[in-house]
Amino acid sequence: MRALSVHTRLTLWYAGALLAILVVVSALSYSLLAWSLAQDVDRSLLAVAGVVRDASRDSPTDVAEQWLRELFDPEHQLIQLLDPDGTLRLRSRALRGDRLPLSPAAQRMILEGRPAFDTAAMRGQRVRVVTLPVRRGGRLVEVVQVGASLRPTERALERWIEILAILVPLAVGLAAAGGRLMARAALKPVDDMSQAARRIDAEALGRRITVRGTGDELDRLAETLNGMLARLQSTFAEMRRFSADAAHELRTPLTALKGTLEVALRADRSGPEYRAALASALEEVERLVRLSEDLLLLSRSSAGPESPGARVDLESLVLDAAAVGARLAKDRGVVVRVGATAPVAVQGDAGALRRAMLNLLENGVKYTPAGGRVEISVAEDGPSVAVAVEDTGPGIDAADAERIFEPFVRLDAARARETGGSGLGLAIARSIVVAHRGTLTVQPAPAGGARFVLRLPADRR
Ligand code: ADP
């Protein structure tokens, strides 16, 4: 079954709630009407009975009888007079030979001198009867009974039910139709928005959803969606750029490899010539292997640490990375040393963090001329810990301080080529640090050169 649309569901809820309210109100109005009609009947019965009682009490019996005969002869009055023992003395013509009932409860009441009300069935109708005692000289001399058919009351109540049965569905129907129109109008912008969003795909991420400028929730929704689209667009652009750069980086060594092999195969070569060609081919293959390893590392590190909960002793990690850096630096005449350290720990993946530090140290060693120095230190810094790698190399211009962390960015192409870097080292380091909820920035070192600072949340367990 197809799910109901929001405006249909809203309308159904609205109509349901209105129906429930109207049913309750109708039931209340019916009970109130029934109660007030019953009160009216009882009041008028009592009034008539009072008149009859007064007439029969204040006049001699035969005069009263005569008077009553004249007064209460009309067709529709149900009146009867009884002796105290219950014997019928007089009844109005409208009773047509029937008797108004006198229940034992009513009998008890009149003996106490109080009026009694009863409802009884007579000739297929419900009849309301009031019974009044007539006392003369403190003695019960007569009983007056006045009855009235409840048919008119019942008819009024039936008519009220008929009116409600027409009015309630009509009101609910009209309200539902109006509510549906209103809900549809209110939700139309949402429909428009979803249609606009449907037209946006990976190829048309530059499109935006129209913001109507009303400043309401729907405008905020459109703005949120547009913000998300803008982020998606820039991510897509970044991915495209990355793929293009990666393809380009792969093509360079592959073209060189192809060229070397073609030249070697073009004519018969001597053994040393073949060896030289193969050595050059191997060099390009090694570049390709390094590049693919770096690409793999980058995609893994951006997926986050492999064991996020593990506690990592940062001090020993720094000492270990410094030892590796020192071995690399030996051939280049650069000194790697450990500066200030502190016994600090972070949470994360020790292998990945070691990789990030090594990338910084390797860069320091690579870009610092012989006779220079690279220093790594670790210190506590408020709620975080900071690892700094500082060198005495050429340093990095403030204008390039952000750019160098992008994949494949090398500031000096010739130098990068000579050092064999792919331009992924800093991108890998930053994505590892970001995955550990930290930051990696560069600033000028006080002694000239570059100072990379890697900041991570401290683990104080
Ligand atoms: P690469 O493989 O080229 O070293 P990186 O991502 O590690 O790639 O570095 C990007 C660029 O940033 C380098 O090509 C280099 O120009 C510059 N760079 C990195 N570290 C340093 C440093 N310590 N001193 C000067 N320049 C640096």
Residues 111-125, mean pLDDT to the nearest whole number: 89
**Residue whose CA is at the smallest distance from ligand 1 atom 8:** 423
Residue 376 has pLDDT above 90, yes or no: yes
Sheet of strand 373-381, all strands in order from the earlier edge strand to the far edge: 335-338, 373-381, 384-391, 450-457, 439-444
Q: Give the span between the Cα atoms of 432 and 435, in whole angstroms.
A: 5
- Amino acid at residue number 218: L
Contact 153, 179 (CB under 8 A): no
Q: How far is the CA of 434 from the centre of ligand 1 (A)?
A: 19
- Mapped onto helix, strand or coil, the DSSP state of residue 47 is helix
357: closest CA among 331, 379, 388, 329? Answer: 388
What DSSP designation does 357 have?
A: H
Residue 130 has pLDDT above 60, yes or no: yes
> In terms of DSSP bridges, do strands 125-136 and 116-122 run parallel, antiparallel, or are they unpaired?
antiparallel
412 falls in which pLDDT band (50, 70, 90)? confident
Q: Give the span between the Cα atoms of 317 and 313, in whole angstroms.
A: 6
Residues 414-426, mean pLDDT to the nearest whole number: 69
94 falls in which pLDDT band (50, 70, 90)? confident
- Amino acid at residue number 54: D
205 falls in which pLDDT band (50, 70, 90)? confident
390 falls in which pLDDT band (50, 70, 90)? very high
Dihedral pair phi/psi, residue 252, rounded to 5°: -60, -55
What per-residue confidence (pLDDT) applies to 452?
A: 97
Q: Report which ligand 1 atom has the smallest distance to the Cα of 426.
A: 6
Q: How far is the CA of 426 from the centre of ligand 1 (A)?
A: 7
For a pLDDT cut of 90, what percent of the chain falls above it?
54
Q: Report which ligand 1 atom has the smallest distance to the Cα of 452.
A: 23
pLDDT higher for 448 or 336? 336
- Mapped onto helix, strand or coil, the DSSP state of residue 177 is helix
pLDDT higher for 350 or 60? 350
Residues 119-142, mean pLDDT to the nearest whole number: 88
Q: Give the span between the Cα atoms of 450 and 455, in whole angstroms.
A: 16
Q: Give the span between the Cα atoms of 393 and 373, in whole angstroms.
A: 8
Residue 417 has pLDDT above 80, yes or no: no
Residues 193-199, mean pLDDT to the nearest whole number: 85
pLDDT digits (tens, 9 = 90+) for 238-266: 889 999 989 988 998 899 999 999 999 99
Neighbours of 138 (CB within 10 A): 6
Domains of the chain plus CATH, in order, are 6-156 (3.30.450.20), 200-303 (1.10.287), 308-457 (3.30.565.10)
Residue 402 has pLDDT above 80, yes or no: yes
Contact 367, 411 (CB under 8 A): no
Neighbours of 401 (CB within 10 A): 14
Concatenated DSSP letters for 264-305?
A: HHHS---HHHHHHHHHHHHHHHHHHHHHHHHHHHHHHHHT--
Q: How far is the CA of 456 from the centre of ligand 1 (A)?
A: 22
pLDDT higher for 196 or 66? 196
Q: Residue 456: CB partners within 8 Å, gap ≥ 6? A: 314, 346, 348, 353, 384, 385, 387, 433, 436, 437, 438
Which of 293, 390, 410 has the most ligand 1 atoms within 8 A of CB, as the residue to mutate?
410
Residue 231 has pLDDT above 80, yes or no: yes
Residue 414 has pLDDT above 60, yes or no: no
Q: Report which ligand 1 atom has the smallest distance to the Cα of 393.
A: 24
pLDDT higher for 422 or 73? 422
Structure tokens at 129: 């009867």
What per-residue confidence (pLDDT) applies to 257?
A: 93
Q: Give the span between the Cα atoms of 287 and 267, in whole angstroms.
A: 27
Which of 426, 431, 432 has the most ligand 1 atoms within 8 A of CB, as the residue to mutate?
426
What per-residue confidence (pLDDT) applies to 186?
A: 86
Q: How far is the CA of 351 from the centre of ligand 1 (A)?
A: 21
Structure tokens at 305: 């640490």
73 falls in which pLDDT band (50, 70, 90)? low
- Amino acid at residue number 35: W
Helices (H), 303-331: 314-330
Helix pair angle (271-302, 350-367), 10° resolution: 130
What per-residue confidence (pLDDT) applies to 422?
A: 81
Contact 312, 350 (CB under 8 A): yes
pTM: 0.62
H/E stretch holding 134 reads: strand 125-136
Neighbours of 375 (CB within 10 A): 22
H/E stretch holding 225 reads: helix 217-266
**Residue whose CA is at the smallest distance from ligand 1 atom 7:** 425
Helices (H), 101-150: 104-111
CB-facing half-sphere around the CA of 20: CA atoms within 13 A: 5
Q: Give the span between the Cα atoms of 371 and 361, in whole angstroms.
A: 16
Residues 440-444, mean pLDDT to the nearest whole number: 95
Determine the Cα angle at 265 with ends 259 and 268, to 5°. Answer: 140
Q: How far is the CA of 252 from the centre of ligand 1 (A)?
A: 19
Contact 346, 458 (CB under 8 A): yes
Inter-CA distances, 76 with 42, 54, 91, 96, 148, Å:
16, 21, 12, 10, 8
Concatenated DSSP letters for 360-405?
A: HHHHHHHHSPTT-EEEEEEEEETTEEEEEEEESSS---GGGTTGGG
What per-residue confidence (pLDDT) applies to 1?
A: 58
440: closest CA among 387, 390, 393? Answer: 387
Which of 252, 361, 365, 367 has the most ligand 1 atoms within 8 A of CB, as the residue to mutate?
367
